[in-house]
Amino acid sequence: MQVDIEKNPQEQDVRSQWVLNAPEPPSPCRVVADSLRKTISHFQQKFSSLTDQPCTTLLLSLLQLIFPIFSWGRNYTATKFRKDLLAGLTIASLCIPQSIGYATLAHLDPQYGLYTSVVPPLIYAVMGTSREIAIGPVAVVSLLLSSMVQKLIDPAADPVGYTKLILLATLLAGIFQASFGLFRLGFLVDFLSHAAIVGFVAGAAIVIGLQQLKGLLGITHFTTKTDIVSVIKAVWEAVHNPWNPRNLILGCSFLVFILTTKFLGKRKKKLFWLASIAPLVSVILSTLIVFLTRADKNGVKIVKHVKGGLNPSSIHQLDFNNPYIGEVAKIALVVAVVALTESIAVGRSFASIKGYQLDGNKEMMSIGFTNIIGSFTSCYVATGSFSRTAVNYAAGCETLVSNIVMGITVLISLQFLTKLLYYTPTAILASVILSALPGLIDVSEAYKIWKVDKIDFLACIGAFFGVLFASVEIGLLVAVVISFSKIILISIRPGTETLGKLPGTDLFCDVYQYPMAVKIPGVMIIRVKSALLCFANASFVRERIIKWVTEEESEDDKGNSRSTIQLVILDTSNLVNIDTSGIASLEELHKSLSSRGKQLAIANPRWQVIHKLKVSNFVGKIGGRVFLTVQEAIACKTRC
Amino acid sequence: MQVDIEKNPQEQDVRSQWVLNAPEPPSPCRVVADSLRKTISHFQQKFSSLTDQPCTTLLLSLLQLIFPIFSWGRNYTATKFRKDLLAGLTIASLCIPQSIGYATLAHLDPQYGLYTSVVPPLIYAVMGTSREIAIGPVAVVSLLLSSMVQKLIDPAADPVGYTKLILLATLLAGIFQASFGLFRLGFLVDFLSHAAIVGFVAGAAIVIGLQQLKGLLGITHFTTKTDIVSVIKAVWEAVHNPWNPRNLILGCSFLVFILTTKFLGKRKKKLFWLASIAPLVSVILSTLIVFLTRADKNGVKIVKHVKGGLNPSSIHQLDFNNPYIGEVAKIALVVAVVALTESIAVGRSFASIKGYQLDGNKEMMSIGFTNIIGSFTSCYVATGSFSRTAVNYAAGCETLVSNIVMGITVLISLQFLTKLLYYTPTAILASVILSALPGLIDVSEAYKIWKVDKIDFLACIGAFFGVLFASVEIGLLVAVVISFSKIILISIRPGTETLGKLPGTDLFCDVYQYPMAVKIPGVMIIRVKSALLCFANASFVRERIIKWVTEEESEDDKGNSRSTIQLVILDTSNLVNIDTSGIASLEELHKSLSSRGKQLAIANPRWQVIHKLKVSNFVGKIGGRVFLTVQEAIACKTRC
């Protein structure tokens, strides 16, 4: 190739003309307009393909669009139902004790946890696009909701007002989630990076575990703060007052039982159902023990009255004139994003195992509607649960019918079995929650993050310690800030690299990445490690380049062989865009190099870049030294 | 080349090995450590080169480092002094009326403007590295300072308290500026993009112009708000009450005179001194007229008493126990950044004309110390002025000695001539300020920004209308937010492009930028227009690629010639870095493509990217399909 070019300078000129005479790139306005037109025509196509059909088909298509169950339900078979039934019953047995426990974590009456395991799974089953997600109350959201709402109203002092706020937050979270889906704001869920989620969930798991010490030790007065220091202080004080070890003994023995079955279930895949029903078995057994020994008279704390019956309507409790409405909206926004992040992460990971795509926007709308309708029927924020979805998948679920089975099972329990929960010791609920926590602390993933990306790991431990030592919101904030700081930092302080020629090719690469690359004497080839040359980094890049050129010349000075750089080539193959500050900076660079008798050339400018350099007449100022490749820029120097 | 590769697959394997066996890139910790070591060794070198020398030389070197005047002063000649004397007298004649006017704009007594034109130029002259900057009070900073501080204390009600706050803000601004320089935080100045400054300064000029209507119309009661709506309302009300047209007539006639001389000065370069002394001539003439006709008895507003004498000490006025200290610190931070931005922009533009480099960090320290010492001697925030620096340059200044000449001239005026200012009409001061404003509204630059970059223009008019209709701070905030939104937006929603082969080369380029590029059948080559594949864009990119592959196959479906894509090549030559979310997303992409029988290959990964892909074992998962170039990735497909 090199030989070719030197033989055919005309050919090279042709290629320079390709660069310079590229068609004009679309303006930002046209990009926006095109994208709008595309979306509209997409809907029009869908609509026109519908209107061609008779009325009933039209209705069916619309229904299928909104409720995917009408689409997959038509191929539903008895074989599938058998599998779903089994999976549904399995997750129901796990769900009942967990729901009660999470309701306690959210400072709500136990029945609210059960309510949240009835309506949301039924709604999601007809609207959702995932096939494995098990919907219901989850630990992290329960913690987040209670830790933020109790700052507004103390649940111990005014439980009714507190419950009202929780329901209002649920409605608003649902509205936020549905609108994210409607306005295709799926990227909001991406604001929490994978690393941040790993750290955040691990921190939240420890905080949740610490909260369970209240139940496990049978403490009556406990701190409302969630950070590790306050909780340990509260436990320390409680332990130094007279306390009853019966709660601890009962809780710990069943915790050991559940963890043992879990361990067995992991070792032998066939025993996994044992792990799934162990929590329910523990509840039943411990309730029986307390009932028979009347241990509640001896200081064992029990759940007492759980209100039975169907989900009552809660529409009258949703009060938009609430003085805290602004605060609640903020809380709802945070909860909405966290809940969606958890659910979509879970859904995606199982969808990719089964090899289908999850529509993020549709998912957000489904979960949003689930929570809106949930808030009308005494449910608090529901989302896809990590642990129960994994059990659902392992139990062999085929479709969302397993969620329907679970919902109906919980409904039956609510109607007929709540009286039996009277003697359930609270320590057991703590054990059930504690047993679910180890799965949330993913040390091996954290190690992998550390190995691959140190700054990602910083976001991870930032979130972890933020949750642990400050509060749940602070942990989230720390993670988001660290993640975005990285993006901004790379933009305002980009690296620069010098390129050398790879032997036997026409390629120019970073001399540090490819030690075999050879620098061209008299020429300095520089590439900026950023997609943007803009106001935030333009002066920095300019100063860096001038410093390098100066250093290069003085460095060779020592060895007494002064290498004078005649040509500085800026390889802009990275640069996606440039702004007016960037162009001004290039102009100053050109002036500065010219005053020292050096030339500046641009190699491989991208579409937006060459367009702007042409419009601002920079190409004319550097004498048209714009080339398709670095090789051709060097060839020109030899020719000139 | 293509032929070469197909003949020599071994050679290609060697190159793939180059990619895969690149040395490990430095970790972020090592990068930070290296940069620290470099800085320290830089200082050590400087220090050791100093300590080798005798004590007197050492002292001189240190002095030269802190006070560059000791360095350039040794080559100072009588010829240079003659030029500097002329330039200094010219800017002094412009500076006296402007200083009084800007002090009025800052709601301070007139003498404070003169004080600020004495000490700061003298300090800057011994510390600064620019050769042209004329230091003193400037319009934008005066407006910014007064509009923010008057929200804390009303200058009409408590002028002493207000002045104290202004002096405190000056001290703090100086401390901020000096620390920016000390800690090398020069990038803070880059946060205001060129486009934002153009819009902001133009908006501020109009706001300042509107404020001058008070003086020009001789209005006594005027609004304290700076937005255009409030000011026009205030003027409307004032005009509808009985008012005296004498102020307006006097002001306008001298405004016409100054603008005419300015116009002449622009047409004939030799007449520029006429433009420079016109303001002073106007002040003298109008004062004489008022004195002779005793027009002040007939409603012409006059300056009255201006306190004469040297700058008094103001150390006792700096009260750190002030209840507003927190607010003042915030104001000082904003003012510090804006003042530095103006000064460094001015300094840089003239330095690049004369072909020398301005050291940003040293400049920040000089201006910081200037303001710190200024605050001890009754000066408010001084910085490099656009208009006076241009006059200084045009008058042929050689060094900062012109600033010393100016300072001494103003000092003499303060000592002996302030009594003469008693009868100066305020309308003339308004005219002097108004005549300086047209230079700040740079319509042609705004048009150029519009032509080159639409989003930059958005930041420009955002700042303009923000200043005009809301407040000075809001305008700044709008500009910074728009500028940074663009960086973040490009990161979270990067474009993607398909590549085709340029005829006669081995190069693969965007098929839209180069319409002659030919797509390779059965292969899809995709490049992401971002420097980072990270949490914020990874899912978006993955979904986009899968959608494109699906579309490409279905699009050809219509034409009945189904083209099945067998290989998707991701050209990662853009990507500077990737994080764990990005890798997870690539893994999902690989799974998704595999399930459809397609292969994924990576071409030209950069240093950090290939390192992380190796560490996370992604290279193994895609069967080692990592290549140096797109061409080689395609060649492999033909071989396989």
Whole-angstrom distance, CA of residue A410 vs CA of residue A421? 13
- Do A464 and A561 sit in the same domain of this protein? no
Size of interface A-B (CB pairs under 8 A): 244
CB interface of B with A, residues 265-324, below 8 Å: none
Q: For B46-60, b where at least 16 C-beta lie within 10 A, e where not — what string?
A: eeeeeeeeeeeeeeb
Whole-angstrom distance, CA of residue B354 vs CA of residue A257? 82
Q: Which residues of B touch A22 (CB under 8 A)?
A: 513-514
Interval A114-120 mean pLDDT: 94
Three-point CA angle A606, A609, A613, nearest 5°? 135
Residue-wise pLDDT for B359-417, tens only, equals 888 899 999 999 999 999 999 999 998 888 888 888 888 899 999 999 999 999 998 88
- Residue A561: is its pLDDT beyond 80? no
In a domain, A17, yes or no: no
In a domain, B560, yes or no: yes
Lowest mean pLDDT of A12-21, A383-392, B65-74, B387-396, name the range: A12-21
Confirm or reject contact between B633 and chain A (CB < 8 A). no
Residue B165, pLDDT score: 93
Confirm or reject contact between A496 and chain B (CB < 8 A). no
Could you tell me which of A254, A256, A290 has the C-alpha nearest to residue A424?
Answer: A290
Whether B563 and B552 have beta carbons less than 8 Å apart is answered as yes
- Do A631 and A580 sit in the same domain of this protein? yes
Phi first, then psi, for residue A383 (nearest 5°) are: -160, 180
Interval A519-538 mean pLDDT: 89
- The one-letter amino acid at A62: L
Put the strands of the sheet holding B567-571 in their side by side order. B508-510, B496-501, B523-528, B567-571, B599-603, B626-627
For residue B148, the distance in angstroms to the closest alpha carbon of chain A comes to 26
Provide the domain count of chain B: 2
In a domain, B231, yes or no: yes
Residue A372 CB neighbours (<10 A): 18
> Confidence band (pLDDT; 50, 70, 90) for A210?
confident
Lowest mean pLDDT of A25-34, A292-301, B496-505, B529-538, name the range: A25-34
H/E stretch holding A501: strand A496-501
Confirm or reject contact between A534 and chain B (CB < 8 A). yes
Confirm or reject contact between A537 and chain B (CB < 8 A). yes
> Confidence band (pLDDT; 50, 70, 90) for A298?
confident
Q: Work out the mean pLDDT of chain B and round it to a whole number.
A: 86
- Do A416 and A539 sit in the same domain of this protein? no
Confirm or reject contact between B617 and chain A (CB < 8 A). no
The rounded percent of chain B whose pLDDT value lies above 70 is: 95
> Confidence band (pLDDT; 50, 70, 90) for A7?
very low
Record the tokens describing residue A5, joined without a space: 């070019």
Q: Which residues of B touch A29 (CB under 8 A)?
A: 454
In a domain, B548, yes or no: yes
Higher pLDDT, A6 or B166: B166
> Confidence band (pLDDT; 50, 70, 90) for B1?
very low
Residue ending a domain, among A471, A487, A503, is A487
For residue B194, the distance in angstroms to the closest alpha carbon of chain A comes to 5
Interval A63-83 mean pLDDT: 87
Q: Do B194 and A581 touch (CB under 8 A)?
A: yes
Interval B145-170 mean pLDDT: 92
Could you tell me which of B111, B119, B136, B122 has the C-alpha nearest to residue B414?
Answer: B111
Residue-wise pLDDT for A56-66, tens only, equals 877 888 888 88
- Do B153 and B251 sit in the same domain of this protein? yes
Q: Do A191 and B502 touch (CB under 8 A)?
A: no
Residue A51, pLDDT score: 67
Q: Which residues of A touch B512 (CB under 8 A)?
A: 23, 25, 607
Residue A452, pLDDT score: 87
Confirm or reject contact between A20 and chain B (CB < 8 A). no
Confirm or reject contact between B96 and chain A (CB < 8 A). no
Confirm or reject contact between A516 and chain B (CB < 8 A). yes
CB interface of B with A, residues 190-209, below 8 Å: 190-196
Residue B169, pLDDT score: 95
H/E stretch holding B12: helix B9-20
- Do A408 and A424 sit in the same domain of this protein? yes
> Confidence band (pLDDT; 50, 70, 90) for A8?
low
Whole-angstrom distance, CA of residue B131 vs CA of residue B128? 8
Task: Give me the residue label for tokens 């290549």.
Answer: B627
Q: Do B576 and A507 touch (CB under 8 A)?
A: no
Higher pLDDT, B582 or B45: B582
> Confidence band (pLDDT; 50, 70, 90) for A471?
confident
Whether B382 and B374 have beta carbons less than 8 Å apart is answered as yes
Record the tokens describing residue A354, joined without a space: 């089964």
The highest-confidence range among A354-363, B59-68, B76-85, B372-381, by mean pLDDT, is B372-381
For residue B473, the distance in angstroms to the closest alpha carbon of chain A comes to 20
Q: Do B187 and A583 touch (CB under 8 A)?
A: no
Confirm or reject contact between B597 and chain A (CB < 8 A). no
> Confidence band (pLDDT; 50, 70, 90) for B5?
very low
- The one-letter amino acid at B90: T
Could you tell me which of A631, A33, A373, A126 has the C-alpha nearest to residue B505?
Answer: A631
In a domain, A15, yes or no: no
- Residue B113: is its pLDDT beyond 80? yes
- Do B448 and B529 sit in the same domain of this protein? no
Residue ending a domain, among A464, A487, A510, is A487
Mutation target vs A (from B194, B540, B545, B632; most A CBs, 10 A cutoff): B194
Q: Work out the mean pLDDT of chain A and round it to a whole number.
A: 86
Higher pLDDT, A464 or A484: A464
- Residue B464: is its pLDDT beyond 90? yes
- Do B460 and B509 sit in the same domain of this protein? no
Interval B304-308 mean pLDDT: 81
Residue B2, pLDDT score: 41
Could you tell me which of B209, B550, B167, B635 has the C-alpha nearest to residue B372?
Answer: B167
- Do A426 and A473 sit in the same domain of this protein? yes
**Helix segments in B137-270, DSSP class H:** 139-149, 159-182, 187-190, 194-217, 228-240, 245-267
- Residue A335: is its pLDDT beyond 90? yes
- Residue B174: is its pLDDT beyond 60? yes
Q: Do B455 and A579 touch (CB under 8 A)?
A: yes
Q: Which residues of B touch A512 (CB under 8 A)?
A: 23, 25, 607
The rounded percent of chain A whose pLDDT value lies above 70 is: 95
- Residue A2: is its pLDDT beyond 50? no
Phi first, then psi, for residue B102 (nearest 5°) are: -65, -35
Interval A418-427 mean pLDDT: 86
DSSP state of A425: B
Whether A108 and A404 have beta carbons less than 8 Å apart is answered as no
For residue B528, the distance in angstroms to the closest alpha carbon of chain A comes to 10
> Confidence band (pLDDT; 50, 70, 90) for B586?
very high
DSSP three-state, residue B600: strand
Task: Give me the residue label for tokens 């025509």.
Answer: A41
Confirm or reject contact between A345 and chain B (CB < 8 A). no
Task: Write the CATH number for A616.
Answer: 3.30.750.24
DSSP state of B566: -
Phi first, then psi, for residue A225 (nearest 5°) are: -80, 155
- Do A428 and A525 sit in the same domain of this protein? no
- Residue B12: is its pLDDT beyond 70? no
Q: Which residues of A touch B539 (CB under 8 A)?
A: 186, 190, 360
| Partner residue opposite A580 with nearest CB, options B29, B194, B580 | B194
Q: Which residues of A touch B455 (CB under 8 A)?
A: 28, 579
- Residue B559: is its pLDDT beyond 60? no
Residue B482, pLDDT score: 86
Largest Cα separation within chain B, whole Å, is 101
- Residue A249: is its pLDDT beyond 70? yes
Residue A3, pLDDT score: 41
Whether B432 and B98 have beta carbons less than 8 Å apart is answered as yes
- Residue B477: is its pLDDT beyond 70? yes
N-to-C CA span, chain B: 19
Whether B492 and A187 have beta carbons less than 8 Å apart is answered as yes
Interval A150-167 mean pLDDT: 91
Bridge-based pairing state of the strands B532-533 and B508-510 = unpaired
DSSP state of B316: G
Interval B133-159 mean pLDDT: 91
- Do B162 and B188 sit in the same domain of this protein? yes
- The one-letter amino acid at A544: R
Residue B106, pLDDT score: 92
| Partner residue opposite A28 with nearest CB, options B360, B454, B606 | B454
DSSP three-state, residue B135: strand
Higher pLDDT, B51 or A25: A25
Whether B331 and B151 have beta carbons less than 8 Å apart is answered as no
- Residue B622: is its pLDDT beyond 50? yes
Residue A220, pLDDT score: 75
CA separation, residue B77 to residues B81, B133, B396 (Å):
6, 20, 15
CB interface of A with B, residues 168-187, below 8 Å: 186-187
In a domain, B575, yes or no: yes
Whole-angstrom distance, CA of residue B407 vs CA of residue B373? 15
**Helix segments in B241-271, DSSP class H:** 245-267
| Partner residue opposite B187 with nearest CB, options A191, A540, A584 | A540
CA A61 to chain CA mean position, Å: 32
Residue B371, pLDDT score: 96
The rounded percent of chain A whose pLDDT value lies above 90 is: 25
- Residue B6: is its pLDDT beyond 70? no
Could you tell me which of B541, B565, B569 has the C-alpha nearest to residue B553?
Answer: B565
Lowest mean pLDDT of A43-57, A285-299, B479-493, name the range: A43-57
> Confidence band (pLDDT; 50, 70, 90) for A537?
confident
DSSP state of B498: E
In a domain, A52, yes or no: no
Q: Do A23 and B193 touch (CB under 8 A)?
A: no
> Confidence band (pLDDT; 50, 70, 90) for B50?
low
- Do A523 and A615 sit in the same domain of this protein? yes
In a domain, A43, yes or no: no
Residue A117, pLDDT score: 95
CB interface of A with B, residues 565-584, below 8 Å: 573-574, 576-577, 579-581, 583-584
CA separation, residue B532 to residues A508, A544, B486 (Å):
21, 22, 15
Whole-angstrom distance, CA of residue B551 vs CA of residue B147? 57
| Partner residue opposite A194 with nearest CB, options B357, B535, B615 | B535
Whole-angstrom distance, CA of residue B433 vs CA of residue B133? 20
N-to-C CA span, chain A: 19
- Residue A409: is its pLDDT beyond 90? yes
Lowest mean pLDDT of A508-522, B28-42, B509-523, name the range: B28-42
Residue A553, pLDDT score: 76
Residue B432, pLDDT score: 86
Q: Do B535 and A352 touch (CB under 8 A)?
A: no
Whether A582 and A550 have beta carbons less than 8 Å apart is answered as no
Bridge-based pairing state of the strands B383-384 and B135-136 = antiparallel
CA separation, residue A418 to residues A135, A422, A431 (Å):
21, 7, 20
- Residue A1: is its pLDDT beyond 80? no
- Residue A321: is its pLDDT beyond 90? no
**Helix segments in B527-578, DSSP class H:** 538-558
Domain boundaries, position A501: 493-639
Record the tokens describing residue B529, joined without a space: 């227009």
Q: Do A531 and B536 touch (CB under 8 A)?
A: no
Higher pLDDT, A42 or B206: B206
Q: Which residues of A touch B536 (CB under 8 A)?
A: 187, 190-191, 193, 483-484, 487
Whole-angstrom distance, CA of residue A295 vs CA of residue A608? 76
Residue ending a domain, among A425, A457, A487, is A487
- Do A380 and A432 sit in the same domain of this protein? yes
Residue A638, pLDDT score: 67
Residue B4, pLDDT score: 46
Residue B473, pLDDT score: 82
Measured in residues, chain A has a length of 640
Whole-angstrom distance, CA of residue B522 vs CA of residue B638? 11
Largest Cα separation within chain A, whole Å, is 101
ipTM of this model?
0.82
Whole-angstrom distance, CA of residue B619 vs CA of residue B574? 18
Whole-angstrom distance, CA of residue A398 vs CA of residue A396? 6
Whole-angstrom distance, CA of residue B173 vs CA of residue B491? 34
Interval A601-624 mean pLDDT: 90
Higher pLDDT, A218 or B342: B342
